[in-house]
Amino acid sequence: MSFDLAFWRADGPLTAQDAQQVYQVLCHGGGNVPAHPAVDAFHADLLARYPVPGRDDGRSPWSVRPWHTDECVLGCMPYSEADAMAPVLLDLARRHGLTCYDPQSGTVHFPRNANTLTLRLYEDVVVHGPAPEDVRWVLERIGARAWFAILEDEAGGFVQTATGPAAPEGSFAVEYRDGEQYQALVDDLARVLPVFEGFLRGDRAWRTTLDFTVLGL
């Protein structure tokens, strides 16, 4: 059994369900995503970093030669190589602006900008360098299953929101950390959006938009 990753060009984030549907079609010949020159450039860099074996060379880490079309690259590696290879491939995909889908976990990695923030929707979607439209896209999908979202920077600062098991019924918990951890409870997801947008911009005015109190941990 191999550890598989799929790479293609997308215009915006995808839910795990949508990405799985794209992946299934790509595995059967494609035709469902637009061709893009970044795919070819990514493939060239990929093989420069991890060559396929020659006839007398068994040193390649691939299970099979990566599948490459002008739409996508599908890579298969042994599980023993995944911990070392997957982060390198993900970083390479980000630099080429390609979405990466991990069918093992159902996680979608979408690159947007060069900023160092990361936006996550539960365990399904990771947006690297998010834009305001990505924040709105993620928050609109907070619900019974994807009940958690976090926007964080490289220094460990974050804002996050959760519903379901992490908040009283019908409400959303909004939290951030500044020495201590603070929390506010709101009953309208629209009140969460300015907090995430403010954190994304790098200002601090959002801290006064809700009634934050110190959360005892």
What would the pLDDT profile of 33-49 be if each residue is shown by its tens digit? 999 999 999 999 999 99
Are 96 and 174 in a shared domain?
no
Are 132 and 203 in a shared domain?
yes
Q: What is the pTM of this model?
A: 0.88
**Contact 53/12 with Cβ under 8 angstroms?**
no
Helices (H) and strands (E) in the chain, counts: 5, 12
Are 93 and 170 in a shared domain?
no
Are 18 and 80 in a shared domain?
yes
Are 102 and 35 in a shared domain?
yes
Per-residue pLDDT, 206: 93
Interatomic CA distance for residues 63 and 102, integer angstroms = 16
Which letter, b or e, does each residue of 33-66 get, where b requires 16 or more Cβ atoms within 10 Å of its Cβ? beebebbeebbeebbeebeeeeeeeeebbbbeeb
For residue 206, give the 3-state DSSP assignment. helix
Are 102 and 133 in a shared domain?
no
What would the pLDDT profile of 184-215 be if each residue is shown by its tens digit? 999 999 999 999 999 999 998 999 999 999 98
What would the pLDDT profile of 112-145 be if each residue is shown by its tens digit? 987 789 999 998 999 999 999 999 999 999 987 7
Per-residue pLDDT, averaged over 103-110, amounts to 96
Are 130 and 174 in a shared domain?
yes
As a whole number, the mean pLDDT across the chain is 91
Nearest Cα to Cα of residue 167 among 183, 145, 191, 178:
183
Among 53, 84, 109, give the residue marking a domain's end: 109
Range of the domain at 64: 2-109
Among 54, 80, 109, give the residue marking a domain's end: 109
Are 8 and 104 in a shared domain?
yes
Cα dihedral sign for 156, 161, 164, 168?
positive
